[in-house]
Amino acid sequence: MTPSLPKVGIIFLTFPTSNGREDISRCLTSLEKLEYLRERVELICVESKGSREPIKSWFDQVWLPKSGTTLPRISYLFFEKEIGFSGNNNLGLEKARELGCEFVYLLNEDTDVDPHVLRAAVERIQSDEKIAIVQSLMLLGQERDRINSSGNAYHFLGFGYSNDYRASVGAMHEVPLREIGYASGAAALVRISALNNEQLFDEKFFSYHEDTDISMRLRSQGWKIVIEPTSVIWHHYQFGKAKINYYWMERNRWVLILSYYKIWTVILVAPIALVMDLALSLFAIKNGWFDMKWKQLCEWFDPVFWKWILQRRKKIQSLRTISDQELLRLAVADIRFQEEHVRNPILEHIGNPVMRVYWLIMKMFIL
Protein backbone atom coordinates (compact mmCIF):
# COMPACT_ATOMS: atom_id res chain seq x y z
CA MET A 1 0.00 0.00 0.00
CA THR A 2 1.20 3.49 -0.80
CA PRO A 3 0.05 7.04 0.05
CA SER A 4 -1.22 7.31 -3.55
CA LEU A 5 -4.29 5.29 -2.57
CA PRO A 6 -7.45 7.37 -3.07
CA LYS A 7 -8.92 8.87 0.06
CA VAL A 8 -12.17 7.24 1.16
CA GLY A 9 -14.75 8.42 3.66
CA ILE A 10 -16.68 5.62 5.36
CA ILE A 11 -20.14 6.97 6.23
CA PHE A 12 -21.29 5.03 9.26
CA LEU A 13 -24.71 5.88 10.72
CA THR A 14 -24.86 5.52 14.49
CA PHE A 15 -28.50 6.40 15.18
CA PRO A 16 -29.69 4.36 18.18
CA THR A 17 -31.65 1.17 17.59
CA SER A 18 -32.75 -1.64 19.90
CA ASN A 19 -29.48 -3.39 19.13
CA GLY A 20 -27.41 -0.28 18.43
CA ARG A 21 -24.46 -0.53 20.80
CA GLU A 22 -23.89 -4.21 20.07
CA ASP A 23 -24.11 -3.63 16.29
CA ILE A 24 -21.80 -0.60 16.39
CA SER A 25 -19.21 -2.40 18.53
CA ARG A 26 -19.17 -5.45 16.26
CA CYS A 27 -18.74 -3.36 13.11
CA LEU A 28 -16.07 -1.03 14.51
CA THR A 29 -14.12 -3.98 15.87
CA SER A 30 -14.03 -5.42 12.35
CA LEU A 31 -12.93 -2.03 10.95
CA GLU A 32 -9.90 -2.11 13.25
CA LYS A 33 -8.59 -4.91 10.99
CA LEU A 34 -9.18 -2.99 7.74
CA GLU A 35 -6.40 -3.55 5.18
CA TYR A 36 -6.21 -0.04 3.79
CA LEU A 37 -3.76 2.71 4.66
CA ARG A 38 -5.34 4.25 7.75
CA GLU A 39 -4.25 7.79 6.80
CA ARG A 40 -6.30 7.48 3.57
CA VAL A 41 -9.55 6.64 5.36
CA GLU A 42 -11.93 8.97 7.19
CA LEU A 43 -14.52 7.35 9.46
CA ILE A 44 -17.52 9.69 9.38
CA CYS A 45 -20.08 8.75 12.02
CA VAL A 46 -23.49 10.40 11.77
CA GLU A 47 -26.35 10.48 14.26
CA SER A 48 -29.53 12.52 14.23
CA LYS A 49 -32.18 12.99 16.86
CA GLY A 50 -34.74 10.19 17.13
CA SER A 51 -37.13 8.57 19.57
CA ARG A 52 -34.36 6.84 21.54
CA GLU A 53 -31.70 8.29 23.80
CA PRO A 54 -28.71 9.54 21.74
CA ILE A 55 -25.73 7.24 21.53
CA LYS A 56 -23.07 9.93 21.14
CA SER A 57 -21.95 10.13 24.79
CA TRP A 58 -21.35 6.35 24.89
CA PHE A 59 -19.54 6.51 21.56
CA ASP A 60 -17.33 9.39 22.74
CA GLN A 61 -16.31 7.40 25.79
CA VAL A 62 -15.78 3.97 24.22
CA TRP A 63 -14.75 4.51 20.59
CA LEU A 64 -13.55 8.07 20.04
CA PRO A 65 -10.27 7.39 21.92
CA LYS A 66 -9.41 4.91 19.14
CA SER A 67 -9.62 7.61 16.47
CA GLY A 68 -6.42 7.64 14.42
CA THR A 69 -4.93 4.71 16.36
CA THR A 70 -6.62 1.35 15.89
CA LEU A 71 -9.34 3.01 13.81
CA PRO A 72 -9.15 5.65 11.06
CA ARG A 73 -9.61 9.25 12.14
CA ILE A 74 -13.19 9.69 13.36
CA SER A 75 -15.48 12.64 12.69
CA TYR A 76 -18.73 12.49 14.70
CA LEU A 77 -21.68 14.51 13.39
CA PHE A 78 -24.84 14.97 15.44
CA PHE A 79 -27.94 16.66 14.00
CA GLU A 80 -30.68 17.94 16.32
CA LYS A 81 -33.54 16.87 14.06
CA GLU A 82 -34.88 13.58 12.73
CA ILE A 83 -33.77 13.47 9.09
CA GLY A 84 -33.85 9.76 8.29
CA PHE A 85 -31.42 7.56 6.42
CA SER A 86 -31.21 9.96 3.47
CA GLY A 87 -30.44 13.07 5.51
CA ASN A 88 -27.84 11.35 7.67
CA ASN A 89 -25.93 10.07 4.64
CA ASN A 90 -26.05 13.50 3.01
CA LEU A 91 -24.43 15.01 6.12
CA GLY A 92 -21.73 12.36 5.84
CA LEU A 93 -21.15 13.19 2.18
CA GLU A 94 -20.74 16.89 2.95
CA LYS A 95 -18.09 16.04 5.52
CA ALA A 96 -16.32 13.67 3.11
CA ARG A 97 -16.09 16.44 0.52
CA GLU A 98 -14.74 18.81 3.15
CA LEU A 99 -12.06 16.24 4.05
CA GLY A 100 -11.00 15.79 0.42
CA CYS A 101 -12.32 12.26 -0.14
CA GLU A 102 -12.62 10.90 -3.67
CA PHE A 103 -15.05 8.16 -2.69
CA VAL A 104 -17.52 7.45 0.09
CA TYR A 105 -18.31 3.99 1.36
CA LEU A 106 -21.82 3.61 2.81
CA LEU A 107 -21.84 1.10 5.65
CA ASN A 108 -24.74 -0.05 7.82
CA GLU A 109 -24.11 -0.32 11.54
CA ASP A 110 -25.55 -3.87 11.65
CA THR A 111 -22.62 -5.30 9.68
CA ASP A 112 -19.09 -6.53 10.09
CA VAL A 113 -16.53 -6.40 7.31
CA ASP A 114 -13.80 -8.46 5.71
CA PRO A 115 -10.40 -6.71 6.06
CA HIS A 116 -10.10 -6.52 2.25
CA VAL A 117 -13.58 -4.98 1.76
CA LEU A 118 -12.49 -1.44 0.96
CA ARG A 119 -9.39 -2.25 -1.08
CA ALA A 120 -11.32 -4.63 -3.36
CA ALA A 121 -14.12 -2.12 -3.96
CA VAL A 122 -11.64 0.69 -4.71
CA GLU A 123 -9.70 -1.48 -7.15
CA ARG A 124 -12.91 -2.33 -8.96
CA ILE A 125 -14.15 1.26 -9.26
CA GLN A 126 -10.72 2.42 -10.49
CA SER A 127 -10.70 -0.28 -13.17
CA ASP A 128 -13.39 1.53 -15.21
CA GLU A 129 -13.93 5.29 -15.21
CA LYS A 130 -17.64 4.75 -16.00
CA ILE A 131 -18.35 2.85 -12.78
CA ALA A 132 -20.12 5.12 -10.29
CA ILE A 133 -21.07 2.62 -7.58
CA VAL A 134 -19.59 -0.69 -6.46
CA GLN A 135 -21.69 -2.76 -4.10
CA SER A 136 -19.90 -5.21 -1.85
CA LEU A 137 -21.08 -8.79 -1.70
CA MET A 138 -23.38 -8.92 1.34
CA LEU A 139 -23.51 -12.18 3.27
CA LEU A 140 -25.80 -13.04 6.15
CA GLY A 141 -24.34 -12.39 9.56
CA GLN A 142 -26.19 -15.36 11.03
CA GLU A 143 -25.21 -17.77 8.21
CA ARG A 144 -21.88 -16.48 7.02
CA ASP A 145 -21.65 -18.66 3.91
CA ARG A 146 -25.09 -17.54 2.64
CA ILE A 147 -25.82 -14.48 0.50
CA ASN A 148 -27.90 -11.56 1.70
CA SER A 149 -27.49 -9.55 -1.51
CA SER A 150 -25.34 -9.97 -4.61
CA GLY A 151 -26.74 -6.70 -5.91
CA ASN A 152 -30.40 -5.78 -5.91
CA ALA A 153 -33.04 -6.50 -8.53
CA TYR A 154 -35.16 -3.62 -9.80
CA HIS A 155 -38.73 -4.51 -10.79
CA PHE A 156 -40.30 -2.45 -13.57
CA LEU A 157 -43.10 -1.42 -11.15
CA GLY A 158 -40.59 0.17 -8.79
CA PHE A 159 -40.17 -2.71 -6.33
CA GLY A 160 -36.77 -3.97 -5.29
CA TYR A 161 -35.31 -7.02 -3.61
CA SER A 162 -32.00 -8.76 -2.95
CA ASN A 163 -30.55 -11.03 -5.63
CA ASP A 164 -29.49 -14.56 -4.67
CA TYR A 165 -30.90 -14.30 -1.15
CA ARG A 166 -29.75 -17.28 0.97
CA ALA A 167 -27.84 -18.81 -1.95
CA SER A 168 -24.44 -20.34 -1.23
CA VAL A 169 -21.59 -17.85 -1.53
CA GLY A 170 -19.81 -20.32 -3.81
CA ALA A 171 -22.25 -19.43 -6.60
CA MET A 172 -20.71 -15.94 -6.88
CA HIS A 173 -17.42 -17.32 -8.19
CA GLU A 174 -19.18 -18.10 -11.45
CA VAL A 175 -19.85 -14.40 -12.11
CA PRO A 176 -16.78 -12.35 -11.10
CA LEU A 177 -18.25 -9.03 -12.24
CA ARG A 178 -21.67 -7.89 -13.40
CA GLU A 179 -23.86 -4.83 -13.59
CA ILE A 180 -26.76 -4.83 -11.14
CA GLY A 181 -30.22 -3.28 -11.03
CA TYR A 182 -29.28 -1.09 -8.10
CA ALA A 183 -26.83 -1.10 -5.21
CA SER A 184 -27.78 -1.57 -1.58
CA GLY A 185 -27.08 1.47 0.57
CA ALA A 186 -25.89 -0.88 3.32
CA ALA A 187 -22.50 -1.55 1.72
CA ALA A 188 -21.55 0.47 -1.35
CA LEU A 189 -18.63 2.56 -2.61
CA VAL A 190 -19.68 5.73 -4.47
CA ARG A 191 -17.56 7.90 -6.76
CA ILE A 192 -18.09 11.43 -5.44
CA SER A 193 -17.28 13.12 -8.77
CA ALA A 194 -20.19 11.24 -10.40
CA LEU A 195 -22.60 13.15 -8.15
CA ASN A 196 -21.79 16.50 -9.81
CA ASN A 197 -21.89 18.42 -6.51
CA GLU A 198 -25.38 17.08 -5.80
CA GLN A 199 -26.53 15.36 -2.63
CA LEU A 200 -26.24 11.63 -2.32
CA PHE A 201 -29.94 11.00 -1.60
CA ASP A 202 -33.14 12.97 -2.04
CA GLU A 203 -34.08 13.70 1.58
CA LYS A 204 -37.80 13.66 0.78
CA PHE A 205 -37.45 9.91 0.30
CA PHE A 206 -36.57 9.85 4.02
CA SER A 207 -36.33 6.04 4.07
CA TYR A 208 -36.63 3.18 1.54
CA HIS A 209 -35.79 3.24 -2.17
CA GLU A 210 -33.30 6.09 -1.73
CA ASP A 211 -30.55 3.68 -2.81
CA THR A 212 -32.66 2.69 -5.82
CA ASP A 213 -33.05 6.37 -6.65
CA ILE A 214 -29.33 7.18 -6.61
CA SER A 215 -28.55 4.09 -8.71
CA MET A 216 -31.21 5.04 -11.28
CA ARG A 217 -30.09 8.66 -11.29
CA LEU A 218 -26.52 7.68 -12.12
CA ARG A 219 -27.52 4.95 -14.59
CA SER A 220 -29.75 7.44 -16.43
CA GLN A 221 -26.62 9.56 -16.93
CA GLY A 222 -24.64 6.67 -18.41
CA TRP A 223 -22.81 5.43 -15.30
CA LYS A 224 -22.44 1.76 -14.35
CA ILE A 225 -23.51 0.12 -11.08
CA VAL A 226 -21.70 -3.15 -10.35
CA ILE A 227 -21.15 -5.86 -7.72
CA GLU A 228 -17.64 -6.78 -6.55
CA PRO A 229 -17.68 -10.33 -5.08
CA THR A 230 -14.25 -10.04 -3.42
CA SER A 231 -15.38 -7.05 -1.37
CA VAL A 232 -17.33 -8.75 1.41
CA ILE A 233 -19.42 -7.68 4.39
CA TRP A 234 -21.69 -9.67 6.70
CA HIS A 235 -25.12 -8.16 7.29
CA HIS A 236 -26.84 -9.11 10.54
CA TYR A 237 -30.15 -8.77 8.79
CA GLN A 238 -33.48 -9.27 10.54
CA PHE A 239 -36.67 -9.39 8.52
CA GLY A 240 -39.44 -7.20 9.91
CA LYS A 241 -40.94 -3.82 9.12
CA ALA A 242 -42.61 -1.12 11.18
CA LYS A 243 -46.00 -0.23 9.76
CA ILE A 244 -44.92 3.24 8.58
CA ASN A 245 -42.29 1.66 6.34
CA TYR A 246 -45.03 0.29 4.07
CA TYR A 247 -46.02 3.88 3.40
CA TRP A 248 -42.47 4.87 2.48
CA MET A 249 -42.00 1.83 0.25
CA GLU A 250 -45.25 2.36 -1.66
CA ARG A 251 -44.87 6.11 -1.98
CA ASN A 252 -41.26 6.01 -3.08
CA ARG A 253 -41.61 3.29 -5.71
CA TRP A 254 -44.21 5.47 -7.42
CA VAL A 255 -41.85 8.44 -7.17
CA LEU A 256 -39.27 6.40 -9.10
CA ILE A 257 -41.69 5.56 -11.89
CA LEU A 258 -42.98 9.13 -12.21
CA SER A 259 -39.49 10.65 -12.08
CA TYR A 260 -37.48 8.43 -14.42
CA TYR A 261 -39.80 6.90 -17.01
CA LYS A 262 -40.60 8.85 -20.13
CA ILE A 263 -44.28 9.67 -20.57
CA TRP A 264 -44.71 6.90 -23.13
CA THR A 265 -43.24 4.36 -20.72
CA VAL A 266 -45.53 5.58 -17.92
CA ILE A 267 -48.50 5.04 -20.24
CA LEU A 268 -47.28 1.54 -21.09
CA VAL A 269 -46.80 0.58 -17.45
CA ALA A 270 -50.01 2.22 -16.14
CA PRO A 271 -52.50 -0.66 -16.70
CA ILE A 272 -50.49 -3.31 -14.87
CA ALA A 273 -49.42 -0.77 -12.23
CA LEU A 274 -53.04 0.05 -11.41
CA VAL A 275 -53.94 -3.63 -11.20
CA MET A 276 -50.99 -4.13 -8.84
CA ASP A 277 -52.13 -1.18 -6.71
CA LEU A 278 -55.57 -2.73 -6.35
CA ALA A 279 -54.05 -6.07 -5.39
CA LEU A 280 -51.75 -4.37 -2.88
CA SER A 281 -54.69 -2.52 -1.34
CA LEU A 282 -56.48 -5.84 -0.76
CA PHE A 283 -53.27 -7.32 0.61
CA ALA A 284 -52.87 -4.31 2.93
CA ILE A 285 -56.43 -4.72 4.25
CA LYS A 286 -55.79 -8.41 4.92
CA ASN A 287 -52.51 -7.73 6.72
CA GLY A 288 -53.50 -4.67 8.72
CA TRP A 289 -51.62 -1.82 7.04
CA PHE A 290 -54.24 -0.34 4.71
CA ASP A 291 -54.01 2.94 6.66
CA MET A 292 -50.46 3.27 5.28
CA LYS A 293 -51.60 2.43 1.75
CA TRP A 294 -54.42 4.96 2.10
CA LYS A 295 -51.93 7.58 3.31
CA GLN A 296 -49.90 6.95 0.16
CA LEU A 297 -52.95 7.08 -2.12
CA CYS A 298 -54.04 10.40 -0.61
CA GLU A 299 -50.77 11.98 -1.77
CA TRP A 300 -52.02 11.67 -5.34
CA PHE A 301 -54.35 14.58 -4.47
CA ASP A 302 -51.71 16.71 -2.76
CA PRO A 303 -50.38 19.61 -4.92
CA VAL A 304 -47.17 19.71 -2.85
CA PHE A 305 -46.44 16.10 -3.77
CA TRP A 306 -46.93 16.80 -7.48
CA LYS A 307 -44.81 19.95 -7.32
CA TRP A 308 -41.96 17.89 -5.91
CA ILE A 309 -42.42 15.16 -8.55
CA LEU A 310 -42.48 17.62 -11.42
CA GLN A 311 -39.38 19.43 -10.18
CA ARG A 312 -37.52 16.13 -9.77
CA ARG A 313 -38.68 14.88 -13.13
CA LYS A 314 -37.63 18.02 -14.99
CA LYS A 315 -34.12 17.87 -13.59
CA ILE A 316 -33.68 14.11 -14.05
CA GLN A 317 -34.94 14.15 -17.63
CA SER A 318 -32.71 17.12 -18.52
CA LEU A 319 -29.58 15.28 -17.34
CA ARG A 320 -30.24 11.79 -18.68
CA THR A 321 -28.16 10.48 -21.55
CA ILE A 322 -29.75 7.08 -22.23
CA SER A 323 -33.10 5.75 -23.45
CA ASP A 324 -35.73 4.08 -21.29
CA GLN A 325 -34.90 0.86 -23.08
CA GLU A 326 -31.34 1.08 -21.75
CA LEU A 327 -32.43 2.38 -18.35
CA LEU A 328 -34.71 -0.64 -17.87
CA ARG A 329 -32.36 -3.16 -19.50
CA LEU A 330 -31.76 -4.89 -16.18
CA ALA A 331 -35.32 -4.60 -14.85
CA VAL A 332 -37.11 -7.80 -13.82
CA ALA A 333 -40.74 -8.89 -13.97
CA ASP A 334 -40.96 -11.26 -10.99
CA ILE A 335 -41.38 -10.22 -7.38
CA ARG A 336 -39.59 -12.60 -5.03
CA PHE A 337 -40.00 -12.74 -1.29
CA GLN A 338 -36.98 -13.11 0.97
CA GLU A 339 -38.65 -15.07 3.76
CA GLU A 340 -40.88 -18.13 3.53
CA HIS A 341 -43.47 -16.87 6.00
CA VAL A 342 -44.43 -13.89 3.80
CA ARG A 343 -44.67 -15.76 0.51
CA ASN A 344 -47.87 -15.16 -1.44
CA PRO A 345 -49.12 -18.09 -3.58
CA ILE A 346 -51.43 -15.82 -5.61
CA LEU A 347 -48.52 -13.59 -6.57
CA GLU A 348 -46.25 -16.56 -7.34
CA HIS A 349 -48.72 -18.54 -9.43
CA ILE A 350 -50.81 -15.77 -11.02
CA GLY A 351 -49.24 -12.35 -10.49
CA ASN A 352 -45.68 -13.15 -11.52
CA PRO A 353 -46.63 -15.12 -14.68
CA VAL A 354 -48.94 -12.27 -15.76
CA MET A 355 -46.26 -9.67 -15.15
CA ARG A 356 -43.69 -11.72 -17.07
CA VAL A 357 -45.93 -11.81 -20.13
CA TYR A 358 -46.84 -8.12 -19.79
CA TRP A 359 -43.18 -7.13 -19.44
CA LEU A 360 -42.15 -9.29 -22.39
CA ILE A 361 -44.66 -7.49 -24.61
CA MET A 362 -44.08 -4.04 -23.08
CA LYS A 363 -40.32 -4.18 -23.70
CA MET A 364 -40.94 -4.32 -27.44
CA PHE A 365 -42.56 -0.86 -27.32
CA ILE A 366 -40.25 0.98 -24.91
CA LEU A 367 -38.23 3.69 -26.62
d(CA 193, CA 97): 10
Buried b (16+ CB within 10 A) or exposed e, 92-121: bbebbeeeebbbbbbbbbbbbbbebbbbbb
Which run of H or E residues covers position 224?
strand 224-235
pLDDT given for residue 242 in this prediction: 79
pLDDT given for residue 2 in this prediction: 44
Does residue 302 sit in helix, strand or coil? coil
* Contact yes or no for 58/21 (Cβ under 8 A): yes
pLDDT given for residue 274 in this prediction: 96
Amino acid in the structure at residue 232: V
Amino acid in the structure at residue 81: K
pLDDT given for residue 232 in this prediction: 96
Amino acid in the structure at residue 303: P
Amino acid in the structure at residue 91: L
Q: Which fold has domain 8-235?
A: Spore Coat Polysaccharide Biosynthesis Protein SpsA; Chain A (3.90.550)
The string of DSSP letters for 162-212 reads ETTTT-BGGGGGG-S-EE-SB--TTEEEEEGGGGTT--SS-GGG-SSSHHH
pLDDT given for residue 18 in this prediction: 64
* Contact yes or no for 215/166 (Cβ under 8 A): no
Domain range summary for the chain, segments of one domain joined by +: 8-235, 243-362
pLDDT less than 70: residues of the chain: 1-3, 16-18, 171-176, 239-241, 337-343
Q: Using CA of residue 16, residue 19, residue 22, residue 28, what is the dihedral sign?
A: negative
